[in-house]
Chains A and B, each alone.
Chain A
Amino acid sequence: MKKCDFCSEPATVHITDLSHGKHQVLHLCGSCADKERATHLKPQLKVEQIVKGIIAAYAGQSTGEMAELACPYCGTRYAEFRAAGRLGCPADYEAFRAGILPLLERIHGSTEHKGKCPRRRANATGLPAELIRLRRDLRAAVEREEYEAAVRLRDLIRRKEAEHESR
């Protein structure tokens, strides 16, 4: 007789779990099987999967205008956000506003922050977002071997970074 996978008592219950895309067999004794059933009832979905599910369902259609939408700063496409459940940069919240607001309403029941705020306000748009875009431009210039453009961008980034940090 097989032994229980959890406690080495004789196994009397055999469970074949096919739910996670792979087949997994559990051999359990009576008391561990009870526990296993109890834990099976509790929410077991990975947060990741739940989030993706909600995002896919409520973050608007990926057809039409939204399908083409991309953040002008980090370049993340709305379709990528829908697929991965993660945003590319802080400016995405503005870039994808039309899709994100209904999603936030769904997840949090609200679209208005009511907690603490930084004493020194750093905006998600404006200068910091521009830095995100400039660094991306710099990478692209280096990849294209346009070194003069890259040097100009690097100097510009340094000036903007100093300006950003001195705020």
Chain B
Amino acid sequence: MNLDDLTRTSGEWLRGSGPESDIVISSRVRLARNLADFPFSGRASSDEKKEISQALRDGVKKTQATHGLNYVNVDELETLDRQFLVERQLISREHAGAEGSRGVAFPPEENVSLMINEEDHLRIQVMRSGLALEDAWGEASAIDDSLEERLNFAYHHQLGYLTACPTNVGTGLRASVMLHLPALVITKQIEKVFRALQKINLAVRGLYGEGSQASGDFYQISNQVTLGSSEMKILQNITTVVPQIIHYEREARTALVNESRQTLHDRVARSLGILRAAQSISSEETMHHLSNVRMGINLGLIDDLAILTINELFIHTQPAHLQKLQGSALDSQDRNIARATYLRSRLRNDSESHG
């Protein structure tokens, strides 16, 4: 398939339409599976990796539930295209940077991604817009069931599904939700949320910006324990805590509006002004202002933009996307100019189309 066709579309999970989607951007479920008769990918020889890829690719092709997915040989892609798939969250950073035979299969809607020869032989990933973990789990489990009719996955009577890293053994399930929490960040309450979540064994990490900077106020919450609890229990642990965080974020937003509607409106309007007028803008600054604008739309302070547009811009303004749109490699200075140009055109078009 031609990845260039994807530059003008976005994954279904970004459309911003699921339950609680003003705060919950997306829900994601990932299942780790390994073929029983091969070493884990990290230990496999290059020939074995080819055999593993082949076996899984055949399995995916012949299985009803996954038939018709686009398959991409990740090892044959240019660096830019691998980065592009990372930005779309179809493959992991590790998968992009790994060596040897490996691939990814996904449908045009991009709500499923099957990573082959990542750390585990197979990672089944299902994404949904809004808070819809159980729905995502249902599909991931159905794909697992149908693949299992053709493939022998490593399973231990006591320890469950066996994985390359002991942190994934048992269910092999990592469930996560991506939350947009600008008001908890502004009111400096985000730390409390982190501490509470850690107490109940949930991990939190900033979505964008490796390391220190959580740009865009996006936080991902996921389970750490994969062994000893059923899949439903693991999901419930997250789905019972997320409404509380949503509640705190809404309260913080209301408090901000009540305290000083004008200050908040000013902040949001300035952010939109910068995005509509800047001639050169960094990725971090873009995330920061998009985050304000996103909150502004949700609070009714901006009424000429759709949430979907903003959700898309978080992805489309990242380096590989800009370079693919531009059709050429750009250094960071040129990217900042291209980013500003792209933002101006997207934000202008949108306001015109909304009258």
Contact = CB atoms under 8 A, between A and B. Distances in A.
B173 interface: yes
B155 A123 contact: yes
Interface residues of B, number: 63
A116 B230 CA distance: 7
Interface in B112-166: 119, 141, 144-145, 148-149, 152-162, 164-166
Contacts of B188: 34, 38
Contacts of A129: 36-37
B148 A118 contact: yes
> Which one of A107, A120, A129 has the greatest number of beta carbons of chain B within 10 Å?
A107
B36 A122 contact: yes
A167 interface: yes
Interface string A84-122: 111111100110000010011001111111111111111
B155 A108 contact: no
B227 interface: yes
Interface residues on A, range: 35 or more
A83 to B, nearest CB: 13
A52 to B, nearest CB: 10
A108 B225 contact: yes
Contacts of A42: 190-191, 194, 204-206, 214
B198 A128 contact: no
B231 interface: yes
Contacts of A40: 212
B170 A113 contact: yes
A39 B152 contact: no
Given A113-B158, A124-B162, A88 B43 contact: yes
Given A36-B212, A115-B173, A122-B153, A131 B227 contact: no
Contacts, number: 186
B38 interface: yes
Given A110-B228, A122-B153, A103 B166 contact: yes
Contact of A7 (B34, B144, B159, B285): B285
> Which one of B37, B43, B48, B228 has the greatest number of beta carbons of chain A within 10 Å?
B37
A89 B39 contact: yes
B191 A86 contact: no
Nearest to B164: A86
B169 A115 contact: no
Contacts of A128: 35-37, 152, 154
Contacts of A85: 165
A147 interface: no
Interface in B29-56: 34-40, 42-43, 45, 48
Nearest 6 CB-CB pairings of A with B: A110-B228, A113-B160, A90-B154, A122-B152, A128-B36, A128-B37
Interface of A: 6-8, 17, 20, 34-36, 38-44, 47, 51, 55, 74, 76, 84-90, 93-94, 100, 103-104, 107-124, 127-129, 131-132, 135, 139, 161, 164-165, 167
26 contacts: A6-B285, A17-B212, A34-B188, A38-B190, A42-B191, A42-B214, A47-B167, A86-B40, A87-B165, A87-B166, A89-B39, A89-B43, A90-B40, A93-B156, A93-B169, A108-B227, A113-B156, A114-B230, A115-B160, A119-B145, A120-B152, A122-B154, A128-B35, A128-B152, A129-B37, A139-B45
